[in-house]
Structure 1
């Protein structure tokens, strides 16, 4: 390396042609000393720092535009290259008619067995729920009407309730049919409350608070409730007092002289 010193504006007549980096040239210029590698000297009449700076080579970077290209397989196309797999083993019918018929037979037999078992279970369950003989006996009550004289009332028990059976006279029947329905708290005609006019059958419970009325008493000759003063006529209809409804008519059938309630 050859060191060339200069001061101020002094110009050296010796120049070496070489490639010096820009950073080295700047450092040498600021310090007043240029260090260059050995090389061929020429007389250019320029300062060494300027010569070194001017000898730099400018690089220009060029970027080629990106062009998208379709992917091309490296394998040559030919017959059989894009072969579609066969699914014949999965789509073909595996069972024949005989096996299918056997399957249907087994399903039908199983359904029949299950149906029979279900019917047996339900029948046993309903049998257990059915009423016993003593309960059925209490559900219905029978009475011989020939034992009740005309104008008398008999009380019998049905499902734990008293039932009044009254053998009415013709006068009582006429009085019951002659009542003005508009005057009744619970309007009902007499014919809708009896099957045979001579026989009046009612549940012997007051419709007010459930007391048992007395027979052949009250202002209308029927029944009277001593608990709160309700008066019923011979048709069991409320005529006076706090009771809101007529006395209840149970389900009954009269066949000859036989009365069956329930």
Structure 2
């Protein structure tokens, strides 16, 4: 018997390859809509960043706005609140962060934070608690006037969203 080379591709091999390619395209066609539906819808993307006018907030006043479906505290702090926050030694803090790290240079009077307790996501009550900041009545977390955790089960400071000042009275969050 003579030694035979590799078998020549035939019609059956072509049909296997063609069927596999059609199957792969079919799987991709079904999978794409399922994955795409996980993307955020247009209403969420529209809220990816917002601009907020600070001029209506008096010194010592806080407002709560909504950004990406989350409540955000915007506080116009008094000089006394700023001085009190800057005087706290880092050794007294559970999550050490200076007051300067929590505000923007030249805008220290403005404190902008996501209004969710870092323990279980409750919304703290403003201008209350043991440190003249925020108090989460659900589990007893106390935050100071810079939104830093000082007492209670919360592990971290209130979260700062990404923001920048467009002008002295206009801030862009997101």
Normalised to the residue count of structure 1, the TM-score between the two structures is 0.49
Shift of 1:136: 2.7
Structure 2 counterpart of 1:242: 153
Shift of 1:135: 3.0
Structure 1 counterpart of 2:139: 228
Structure 1 counterpart of 2:46: 137
Structure 2: gaps (5+ residues) = 1-31
Shift of 1:260: 1.0
- Cα offsets for 1:89-140 (capped at 9, x unmatched): xxxxxxxxxxxxxxxxxxxxxxxxxxxxxxxxxxxx9xx8987653332111
What do you get for the CA RMSD once the two structures are aligned? 1.7
Distance 1:170 1:231 in 2: 21
Structure 2 counterpart of 1:188: 97
Closer, same or farther: CA 131–241 of 1 in aligned 2, 3 Å: closer
SS in 1 for 2:85: helix
Structure 1: gaps (5+ residues) = 1-124
Contact 2:44 2:68 in 1 (8 A): no
SS in 2 for 1:139: coil
Matches within 5 A, 1:82-161: 133-161=42-70
Structure with larger RCO (C-alpha < 8 A, sep 6+): 2
Count of equivalent residues: 136
Distance 1:131 1:185 in 2: 35
Normalised to the residue count of structure 2, the TM-score between the two structures is 0.74
Give 1 or 2 for the bigger CA radius of gyration. 1
